[in-house]
Chain A
């Protein structure tokens, strides 16, 4: 069978970049293939995907060598209008890829531009609406949809042109758990249809590893494709269950939790649970917080306390009130009822005063970076807080966050992951006892999540505390001592981490489902040989 898409010896350098983003990349995709692109942030995944429809190099410029062939076309030279008929591409952000106002208009827009006859348009519109399960949304305005719904509309819009290859660049990285599940289920449904080749970059390996035909590992611009079983042996970061099987020397490495359980039946290791130090004095307490936006109550009588040494994971679907809780705790919204206490005294009124003690890191903090040097960003926070801001103080703050080597750099030249770290460090440089973090794990890769967990644990060990909102259960298990679940503005559970992440708890981790008593890999006793 001839390949649908094939890259040979592709080396590509972005304009002005010191080194190539892709080096000697070679890859073949058969018709109907389902390939997963895995690798850390900034490793070249997005660049690789953009070669397939010619965005690299046609949109981005730069220099490219090697050859590519996609559906019989040369993506380096074919006009975008023609490429769009062969390759459909969906990006990370649902907001930044729509041009129309309603779902139906968005889907037909591409077909109108390609001069598809109206009768044919109607047929294709009905088909893609059904395939992605969004028929009920057809006359809704895009602005009123959730992220997961918008991403499915984006997929439908490119599928309406009937491409042979669908390229998805981390389509779920900006979504909550439910939205991501819906999008991935839709993609799996498309794969079952059989005639469409799909290649997607995605961090949620546990969801896809056992379903794809091939895993394309990308690291430092180097590309290596392998069947999933082989890739599970070699990939740098894999889901915790697979990692466990790998460490125990299972061969072949199973790809699902059930697979791992079957493969390791009878020789699962014992657990040595980590002991969380008992919490100290109370730092912060919310009492019966009720917040209303117009007629909608976003929070209903939420009470919560935070003690020294506690790391609370705040979980719940989008719209459950996590962000509102943070806003109420820091005084950015005035609660209709209830109040906030810091220690023994009522909290001060103004957000400025409150964040001195309880620092809040909102979503996408990198948006606020504007100085020309990382050091200046940190010094600025210290200045606003009236703290000394000499070289020594700035370096101390940077060391605590592990960004000392970035101090002289311009934040805009950093990678997305580095920017995220710098922004978090800048927001908390004044050293508040309590940290409030809203979805810091969104868009983070494995090493970045480990970095965050380490910072949080250091902070707790030094007598600090944190509340961290997250959708990512496995990441939360790395640091949390307590888990609070929100739903529809109310606290539905408030449990010690051990109970919350246990196999019979509300949020079982992969390791907990395999090794009773353990929650994360660190808590599994591995035999010395392994």
Chain B
């Protein structure tokens, strides 16, 4: 179906991105931080795929390829991020990001 309005797709992506950013920037729990980041990445994927249909020929394939790599990168990020969460929790026994306020000093 090539009838979906690409503008709507982008607006949806923007909304999801906004929500993801809000989650990442406001929640105190570290897991929510990670999940907000994942949500943002998904929004970006959606944006790419949404653009794919506004180009012609080979150029449109970029819109289909990029999410592939983004997913891979998100996986790597999640993996490392979770390992760090484990480390952090081991140190402080708390998942509150504000509890680590002292570590910057």
Do A and B truly interact? no
Which of A's residues lie within 8 Å of B, judged by CB?
Answer: none
